[in-house]
Each structure stands twice: as structure tokens, then as C-alpha cells.
Structure 1
């Protein structure tokens, strides 16, 4: 899988851009605030239907413009495809896959597979559980469309239950209707738990192999699922159902006082251990970075195992954050995947075959091939 061409109109600081990519390594070089990350953002937008930098769609439209257009032409399973993303009059949004409009963002996920690695990802271990759940849900959603739909349904049910909890606080008679939402939450929640458990198990296995190679077999990396419902770690789904239901009932009064649901997979987390030592609490900065690097490289292999094609790898100004050894470990994957790298200085990238890469220079929303 690789991107052939991208066309932008009024996207951030790009009034109009058309660029052809190599199916190997592409390096986008330029000073800060010239549009490097904007280009990465437009590719991410095409894969996930939203930005990784803002939740406000107006932020991605060029100043004083009311129209935005992004078109990605890519090859998947030896067939050329297109994804188009439009915003008209700052409000109306339209997404097309091969000229066919889609109604839901969930229909877009998995059409083009993307792995993104940015400086913020290096903080993933120390970030909040919410960020780690977002990582899990993003990767599972692009590999498994059914998971995405179940996740959307789960959060709809969760929102209904939370609204009801707030209403019950003022009208206790409504408590009898809570059981309906409890059953729905458990039914969909179990499906999410099972998928996460399997995903994290596979993620841990692949990450550990990669981590061993990086550390010359000196360190074992384990990624541990930390579910909000402890029986989620077992393979007995009936036990999960029983515990989930019992905990929802047990915590009703607490949930009513707080106005939100305290039990369920929306409270899950993952932890990282190197040789049985908690990396978040006791790992060095180098160990934390190597763990995240192993995690990102395992994403590539997981997607390949699921789809039989390697994803597109986006490296947004991350190479300067890694030392030479970690860069080399990352670079080992570049012969497998199309890679788009942004950097302020090509000297920050210690790639042996740098001369074989396609190099672009970006300046004030203009890109030229060097």
C-alpha cells in the first residue's frame, strides 16, 4: 500500500498543492511553521476522517477561505483508489471513496492504513490512560471495522446512561429504568473487552520481539492489559458478564452522586514492563522511548498480519528526538513500507541510504522536489 499523489486546496497554509510521492522513503524538509506537519495532517485526515491536532474543522481551512479539498490517490492490492475530503461553506462536509460518498466516518476506517509517529507519542507511557485508550481504539478501528461500530454504539449507550444518572439525582423514581441501559452496556462492552484483550496480547508479543532486537536480547518488554473489570483477563466471557453487571449495580449510588459511569471498558488502561519493572514509574527516559518505538514498529506488523499489506508510515519530526541507534532500529522497517518523514534538517536523519530517498523542500506552503 502506498500513496501516489496528494492534492490540497485551502488546507491550512496550502492554498493549492499537488505532490507525487515515491513508494519508498519521502523526506519533507523545512523550517518550523512552513507546513510540514500540515501535510502529514492531511494524510491522517484522509485515513481517519479527523485531524490528530484539532477537533475544530474550521481550524484546518485556510484563513479567509470557506472551502477545503483534500484528495489522496493511493494503491492498495495493486489497485488505484482515491479518497476525497471536502468542506463547503465552512459547514457542509463530504467524504468520497472512489467517487462514492459515505455517510459515516466508520465507513472510512481501514480503507487506507496509516501508522503515525510524532514527538507526542514518545510521551505515551507517561500520558493519561485516555491517551492510551485512544491509541488502542484507533489501531483496532482501522484493522476491524466492526470494532469501530461497536465502540461508537458503546459510547452512545454510555452517554444515555450518564444523562440518566444526572436525572436520577433529582428524580429517584427514574432509577428503575437504569437496568435497561446496564444490560445494553454489558452486552456491547464485553465485545470491546474481548477484542482489546486479544489485540494487547498480540501487541505485547510482537513488541517484545522487536524490543529484544533493539536491546540485543537484554530486555523483555511486556504490555499488560489493565481492565476496569478484572475478570476481563480471563477467557470466561460469562464471568465477565456477571462481574460487569454486579459492579454496575454495586456502584449505582456512587455513579448517581458523580453523574457518570465508573465501571466499564471506557476506564481501561495498559501498562509497560521491562524485565518486570514498571516503565512508567521506574524506567529511564531511554527505556521509555525504546518501549514506544517497539510499540510503533509492532503496529506496522499487526496491520500487515491483519490486512496482508504494510501500512503507510508517517514520521512527523520524530527523528531528531531519537538517538542514532534508535533511528537505525526504526529505519530497518523502511524497506517494507512507504514512509513520509518530516524534518527541519536532513542532517537530523542518520539513514545510510539517504541518497536513495526522495527529498522535498517546503517553504510557506510551497513544496518542491530537490
Structure 2
């Protein structure tokens, strides 16, 4: 899959701009604040129907404008595909494929597989479990439509159960029959999601460890583990065991919406004991493993976006990463950097065609 052309109108800092891309490597270079990351975000927007950096739609519209349009022309499976995302202030966003609008955005997820590596990924280490769950869910959803559908249904039932718990507290009442219906639904949907996550991580973790070893020359030992109460007990039993607690808290305190990933380096939490370079290497290995998994599942080379890849990494690790992504196992790359000479010196070492796009 190749992104041939990109057009932006009133997107973030761009009023109107068009790009034509090389089939292999495209480098956006320029000073901070010229919009390099915004272009990568526009490409992400076309794959996921939302911004990677700011999910609030109106804040992606250029100041003093009333709308934005992002359009991409792709080559996929030997045919041209046009994808357009547009939004007007105070109106619902629209995603179109070949001029036909999607009824639901979830139908589009996975059609244009993409992986982004950005300094913002550090949230995976520093933030709460919700961020790490979103990472797992995002990887699986790109190649498994049933997973995303089930996850959305599960989230809706959790909200309904939480509303019921609040109703019980506000009205000093209790209805076990209605609660049991929600519990059964959560059990069925949640068990499906748990099993999908567990199966995914069995495949994903060895790939991740191998990718980290390649980046770090095998100098550090890293681990990744899945933490879920469902590994200890059936969700239906867990919900019953935590009912008294849930009634006090007025929300559902157990389930797959509380799962987490544990990140460790040399058997210690990387959040506390990993250097900035080690943390960034860990995150890059996660994303490259994500790329490998999606490519295997979808039989398509995802687009790979490298935002500010050189930040906080020593030259040795950068060389390893560029060699990794420069081989034939990767498809089209998009790189942003503030130093044009540094970027060109690195990509010249890869036996692939490239294009340097200078922004001012």
C-alpha cells in the first residue's frame, strides 16, 4: 500500500498545501513549528478518522476557518483508493472512501493500516492503564473487525451498568434481575475480548523482545506482561464478588476495562528505572512489533510514520533503527526531523529511493 498524494485545506497550521510522495521514504525537514508533525498527523487522520495528537475535532481546524479537509490518494492492491476526512465546526465529521461516506467510522478502521512512532508515545509508560489498553485494542482492531465491534458493545454495557448502580444509590433500591442481565452480557463480551488480548500477546511479546534486542544490541533484558483479573477467575464470579464494592463506588470496578500491561527492563519497572534512551527504545520496539503483527495479519505493509525519531537516542541506536526499517520487510516510510543534513545522511545509507520535503 502506497500513499501517492496528500491534500490539506485548513488543517491545523496549513491553509492549503499538496504533496506528492516517493514510494519508499519521505522526509519532512524544517524548524520546530513549521508543521512537520501536523502532516504526519493528517496521514494518521486518514487511517483512523481522528488525530493522533488531539482527538477534539474542532481544534484541528485552522484558526479563523470553519472547516478542514484532508484527502489522500492511495495505491492498494493495484487499484487507486481516494480517502477524504472533512469536518465543519459544530457538525459531525465525515469520512469518505471513493466519494462514498461511511455510516460508522469503525467500518474504516483497518482499511489503511498504519503505525506511528512519536515522542507522544511516552504516555504509554507514564500514563495510567487506559493508555496501554488503547494500544492493545488499536493493534488488534486494525486486523480484527469483530474485536472492535465487541469492545464497543462491552463499553456500552459497562456504561449502562454504571448508570444502574448510580440509580440504586440515588433511590435506595436494588434490582438483581436487571443487574444479572448486564453481568451476563459483560461476561460474554468481556471473555471474548480477554481471550483475544491473551492470544494476541502470546504472538506479540516474542516479536517485541526480538525487536528490542535488535535496537539495543542485546545489552538489556526487557519484558512485557498482561495483567488481568480474568486470568484468576471467571468474569461473572468477579462481578458477583465485587458487587458490594461496586454499589458503594457506583461504578463497575472489575472487568477487561481494568486490564493493564507491565513494562520492565532488567526485571524492574521501566517507568522508574529506565533511562530516556531505554524508554524510547522500548517504545520503538513496541511499535515495530505492532507493525510486524499488523503486516502478518492483514497481508499489507502498513504505512510507518517516524516523528522526531532522533530525539533522545544515541547515534548507535538510531543506526540500528534506520537499518531495521530500511529493509524490504517495510513499506512506505514518513520521517520528520529538524536537521535536514542529519536525516539525509542517514537515509542515504539505505538502498531505497527517498524524497526530502523542506518546510519553511
TM-score (norm 1): 0.90
Q: Structure 2: which 5+ residue stretches go unaligned?
A: none
Question: Which residue of the partner structure matches residue 82 of structure 2?
Answer: 82
| Partners of 1:52 and 1:120 in 2: CA distance | 9
Structure 1 range deviating more: 255-264 or 280-289: 280-289
After superposition, give the CA deviation of every residue in 1:39-95 in whole Å (9 maximum; x if it has no partner).
111111111111122232111112222222111111222222111112245414221
Q: Among 342, 354, 358, which residue is 1:357 paired with? A: 354
Q: Given that residues 306 and 335 in structure 2 are in contact (C-alpha distance below 8 angstroms), is that contact kept between their aligned partners in structure 1?
A: yes
1:55-204 aligned at under 5 Å gives the runs 55-88=55-88, 90-176=90-176, 177-204=178-205
Q: Give the 5 Å matches for 1:45-64.
A: 45-64=45-64
- 271-280 vs 31-40, which deviates more? 271-280
CA pair 9-269 structure 1, distance change in 2 beyond 3 A: same
Tell me the equivalent position of 1:342.
336
CA contact (8 A) 1:85 1:96 kept: yes
SS at match of 2:52: coil
* Corresponding position of 2:227: 226
Question: Residues 212 and 53 of structure 1: is their aligned pair in 2 closer, same or farther, counting only changes over 3 Å?
Answer: closer
CA deviation after TM superposition for structure 1 residue 157, in Å: 0.6
Q: For structure 1, list consecutive stretches of 5 or more residues without a partner in the other structure.
A: 232-239, 364-370
In 2: Cα distance, 1:90 partner to 1:244 partner: 40
Residues 255-284 of structure 1 deviation map (CA, whole Å, 9 limit, x = unaligned): 122121110011011112345444334334
Aligned residues: 353
Out of 244, 247, 252, which is 1:253 matched to? 244
Q: Cα gap change, 1:344/1:249 in structure 2, threshold over 3 Å: closer, same or farther? A: same
Shift of 1:164: 0.8
8 Å CA contact 2:83, 2:95 repeated in 1: yes
- Determine helix, strand or coil for the equivalent of 1:163: helix
How far apart are the structure 1 equivalents of 2:152 and 2:207? 28
**Other structure's SS at 1:22 match:** coil
Q: Which residue of 2 aligns with 1:237?
A: none
Preserved contact between residue 280 and residue 312 of structure 2 (Cα < 8 Å): no
Question: Are the structure 2 counterparts of residues 347 and 123 from structure 1 closer, same or farther at C-alpha, using a change threshold of 3 Å?
Answer: farther
Q: Aligned partners of 2:229, 2:279: CA distance in 1, in Å?
A: 24
Give me the whole-angstrom Cα distance separating, in 2, the residues matched to 1:352 and 1:95: 34
Aligned ranges 1:2-21 → 2 under 5 Å? 2-21=2-21
Q: Residue in 1 aligned with 2:316?
A: 325
Structure 2 Cα separation of the partners of residues 281 and 333 of structure 1 = 29
Question: 1:125, 1:271 within 8 Å by CA — same for their partners in 2?
Answer: no
Report the 3-state secondary structure (helix = DSSP H, G, I; strand = E; otherwise coil) of the residue aligned with 1:143. Answer: coil
* 1:53 counterpart SS class: coil
How far 1:178 moved relative to its partner? Answer: 1.0
State which drifts further: 100-109 or 289-298.
289-298
